[in-house]
Amino acid sequence: SVHYKTVSPKVLFLHSIMGVGTNLFPMEAGKIPQLKGLLNEFEFKHVAAFPSLIRLITYGKILPELTRKINNLESLESISFHRVIDNERIVFSAEDLWIGFNYQMVHMLDFLPATNWKQEIDDPLFQQFLELHEFLTKSKKIVAHVDKSLESPLEKDDNGKPLSVGMFLNMVIPKPAKRWASAQSIKKFSDEIGHDIGYTITWSSTKA
- Nearest-angstrom CA–CA distance, 41 and 154: 45
Per-residue pLDDT at 165 exceeds 60: yes
Q: What are the φ/ψ torsions at residue 147 (nearest 5 degrees)?
A: -80, 100
Helix (H, G, I), strand (E, B) or coil at 100: helix
> Over the chain, what is the mean pLDDT?
87
Residue 146 has pLDDT above 90, yes or no: no
Q: What is the mean pLDDT of residues 8-31?
A: 94
Query: What integer is the mean pLDDT of 146-167?
Result: 70
pLDDT value of position 208: 47
The predicted-structure confidence for 78-106, as pLDDT tens digits, reads as follows: 999 999 999 999 999 999 999 999 999 99
Q: Alpha-carbon dihedral of residues 27, 201, 12, 24, nearest 10 degrees?
A: 30
CA atoms within 13 A on the CB side of 26: 12
User: At a CB cut-off of 8 Å and minimum separation 6, what does 13 contact?
Assistant: none
Tell me the pairing of strands 89-93 and 76-82. Answer: antiparallel
Question: 188, 115, 119: which is closest to 153 by C-alpha?
Answer: 115
- Can you give the pLDDT at residue 166? 67
* pLDDT (average), residues 126-145: 90
* Main-chain phi, psi angles of 81, to 5 degrees: -155, -170
Residue 36 pLDDT > 50 = yes
Report CA Rg, the chain: 17
